[in-house]
Amino acid sequence: MLFTACLTRACEQVLAHISKRQLPNPLLSPRSLHSKKLSAMAVLASSIPHASRRYFWQEYPPLVVLSIAWILGICIVAALADLIAPYAYTALDLKARLQPPVGFGGSARHLLGTDELGRDVLSRLLTSVQVSLLIAFASTLISASIGLILGFLAAHFKGWIEQIVLTLIDFQASIPFMIIALAVLAFFGNTLVLFICLMGCHGWERSARITRSLTIAANEQGYANAVHALGASSWRVYFRHILPNIASTLIVSMTLTFPEVILLESGLSFLGLGVQPPLTSLGNMVGYGREYLQTAPWILLAPSCVIVLTTFSISLTGDWLRDKLDPTLR
């Protein structure tokens, strides 16, 4: 063994000595090698930004970036609506009735024109965005909370409690919510608080089904059993350990409920059963603008565009989140 190791080392030294005594290749001279290294580094440095940009647009498609930017922008507008509105949304100017927007014969005093009572369309649009997003956010949170609690109850208590929850889910899913909303508003009247609570009863069955199925699957995994074995209560396990693991799926479900609530509120307000005057919303503006569709279409077009863009952006962002959070697509 020692002789073999010595022989191998001697051969390596001879080969190294021979390689040093070889004639230099002009193509592989130090200067040419240095220039080749510099050119390779330059090519590599120039390719890094292109690769990073390509990776960015693969991870964040342009439509998704635009959708997220629209959502952020519309939320900022809703938060600052009272500060950036040029007029009060109830301010009347009968001398400026049905003025067209700027660029279509209107003046700079009313950028989006005025309605049949001389009210500034831009000011009413900003307030409508604020009210509609408030209703949508509050209703989506209420819906997700109801679904979360009922899903935990159905997963924890077996037997008749689970059957009652599943029956409620099937009942909610089998009846069009518009009929339920019309019946409730016809019997109990309409206030903003009641309307938000009513909208919060929409879509909870989806969250309840997701929560129940994911909680049952989590209870069969090791971490939930380990926390139970350490003496933690069931509700602590659900809210402190299982909920963070299923939160991503519930967030995607909320992105599906949010645009549905906006469209439902717009439909009810269009029928005159949603937000009541003097308060305004996107659906309320569309409902009042339908009577002037031929003579003053800008009254209806502005809120309609906001509804379409907002619901489309949230739906597209929800689909992107679902694909990003799905482990089977990675």
SS (H, E, C) the chain: CHHHHHHHHHHHHHHHHHHHHCCCCHHHCHHHHHHHHHHHHHHHHHHHHHHHHHHHHHHCCHHHHHHHHHHHHHHHHHHCHHHHCCCCCCCCCHHHCCCCCCCCCCCCCCCCCECCCCCEHHHHHHHHHHHHHHHHHHHHHHHHHHHHHHHHHHHHCCCHHHHHHHHHHHHHHHCCHHHHHHHHHHHHCCCHHHHHHHHHCCCHHHHHHHHHHHHHHHHCCHHHHHHHHCCCCHHHHHHHHHHHHHHHHHHHHHHHHHHHHHHHHHHHHHCCCCCCCCCCCHHHHHHHHHHHCCCCCHHHHHHHHHHHHHHHHHHHHHHHHHHHHCHHHC
| 244-300: pLDDT as tens digits | 888 888 888 888 888 888 888 888 888 878 888 888 888 888 888 888 888 888 888
| 48-67: pLDDT as tens digits | 565 666 666 667 788 889 99
Residues 6+ apart with CB under 8 A from 302: 112, 121, 122, 125, 285
Per the structure, the count of domains in the chain is 1
| 106-165: pLDDT as tens digits | 788 888 888 888 888 999 999 999 999 999 999 999 999 999 999 988 888 877 888 998
Please report whether residue 135 resides in a domain: yes
| Averaged pLDDT for residues 21-35 | 49
| 211-224: pLDDT as tens digits | 888 888 887 777 77
pLDDT of the residue at 22: 45
Domain that holds residue 233: 68-93+111-325
| 170-216: pLDDT as tens digits | 888 888 888 888 888 888 878 888 889 999 988 898 889 988 888 88
Please report whether residue 300 resides in a domain: yes
Please report whether residue 29 resides in a domain: no
Please report whether residue 24 resides in a domain: no
Please report whether residue 245 resides in a domain: yes
Judged against a pLDDT cut of 80, whether residue 46 lies above it is answered with no
pLDDT of the residue at 276: 82
Please report whether residue 72 resides in a domain: yes
| Averaged pLDDT for residues 25-30 | 48
pLDDT of the residue at 275: 83
Please report whether residue 56 resides in a domain: no
Prediction pTM value:
0.75
Please report whether residue 319 resides in a domain: yes
Looking at 34-43, 110-119, 283-292, 305-314, which range is the least confident one? 34-43
Selected residue with higher pLDDT from 329 and 44 = 329
Query: Is residue 10 very low, low, confident or very high in pLDDT (cuts 50, 70, 90)?
Result: very low
pLDDT of the residue at 50: 57
| Averaged pLDDT for residues 90-105 | 84
Type of residue found at 96 = A
What CATH number has the domain bearing residue 275? 1.10.3720.10
pLDDT of the residue at 238: 80
